[in-house]
């Protein structure tokens, strides 16, 4: 039996295992193998799957690894690297679309479901502004900046212009801490207060500012740093 037939049979067994038991029937190596088979045809990808897990430590770390780093792994192709990075990004978009509806988002927990997916797999600081109407219904959510949240790239003017562009009545800011610790810094608090004042001048309420770290977050409103909307 040719090596190509052996590999084809293994690929088919992985696929049948997924069809019969879902992901619960696959190990982490087999999950990676199955994904890689769609991007690397007619080649054994078992060694590449093992290499990825050994180098990056876990399944989610593999998916969160930037494209240039993935491409440094021997045997990795551009198509396979793109597919691996697409998985968490598509999952994030799925969560965003699923939670975006015509209902009112008046609680921090509801707001977090709209904002947290935008930081999934992101390895640099970024800030997003969620814009709502007067009834707390979704209007838009736009990225304000990348890099340090306190850098000049996130100017007060940019935030105000973004809110006004969609005729928002309420805004919620969110930014991530790549350190993995969601506690707000003094700079975060001062930035929040400046934005609250600036938005109020144009009749927009800053309802909250979420500091995100992985799937955790801290609400500056719940922490007492913002006025009650």
Residues of the chain with CATH 3.40.140.10: 103-219
| Mean of all residue pLDDT scores within the chain | 87
219/183 Cα distance (integer angstroms): 9
Residue-wise pLDDT tens digits, 15-57: 898 888 888 888 999 999 999 999 998 788 999 999 999 999 9
3-state helix, strand, coil in the chain (%, to 5): 50, 15, 35
182/116 Cα distance (integer angstroms): 12
pLDDT at 1 > cutoff 50: no
Maximal CA-CA distance, the chain: 75
How many angstroms separate the Cα of 43 from the Cα of each of 11, 75, 100, 102, 213? 10, 10, 41, 47, 38
- pLDDT bucket at 227, cuts 50 / 70 / 90: confident
116/149 Cα distance (integer angstroms): 16
pLDDT at 88 > cutoff 70: yes
pLDDT at 101: 61
pLDDT at 200: 95
- pTM above 0.75? no
pLDDT at 2 > cutoff 50: no
pLDDT at 152 > cutoff 50: no
Residue-wise pLDDT tens digits, 139-148: 999 999 887 5
Strand order in the sheet with 216-219: 138-146, 126-132, 170-176, 205-213, 216-219
What is 103-219's CATH number, 1.10.10.410, 3.10.180.10, 3.40.140.10, 3.40.1410.10?
3.40.140.10
Residue-wise pLDDT tens digits, 192-214: 999 999 999 999 999 999 999 98
How many angstroms separate the Cα of 51 from the Cα of each of 24, 58, 72, 136, 145? 22, 11, 12, 47, 35
11/143 Cα distance (integer angstroms): 40
Q: How many residues does the chain have?
A: 229
Residue-wise pLDDT tens digits, 104-116: 777 888 888 889 9
């Amino acid at each position: 039996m040719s090596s190509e037939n052996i590999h084809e049979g293994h690929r088919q067994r992985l696929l049948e295992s997924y069809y019969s038991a879902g992901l619960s029937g696959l190990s982490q190596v087999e999950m990676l193998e199955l994904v890689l088979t769609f991007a690397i045809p007619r080649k054994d990808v078992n060694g590449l799957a093992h290499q990825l897990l050994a180098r990056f430590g876990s399944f989610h770390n593999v998916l969160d690894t930037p494209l240039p780093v993935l491409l440094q792994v021997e045997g990795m192709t551009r198509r396979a690297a793109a597919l691996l990075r697409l998985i968490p990004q598509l999952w994030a978009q799925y969560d965003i679309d699923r939670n975006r509806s015509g209902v009112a988002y008046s609680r921090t927990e509801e707001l977090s479901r709209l904002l947290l997916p935008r930081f999934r797999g992101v390895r640099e600081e970024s800030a997003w502004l969620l814009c709502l109407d007067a009834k707390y219904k979704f209007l838009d959510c736009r990225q304000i900046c990348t890099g340090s949240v306190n850098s000049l790239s996130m100017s007060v003017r940019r935030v105000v212009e973004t809110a006004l562009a969609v005729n928002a009545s309420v805004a919620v800011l969110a930014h991530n801490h790549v350190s993995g610790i969601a506690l707000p810094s003094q700079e975060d608090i001062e930035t929040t207060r400046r934005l609250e004042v600036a938005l109020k001048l144009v009749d927009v309420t800053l309802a909250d500012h979420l500091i995100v770290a992985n799937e955790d977050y801290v609400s500056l409103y719940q922490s007492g740093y913002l006025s009650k909307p």
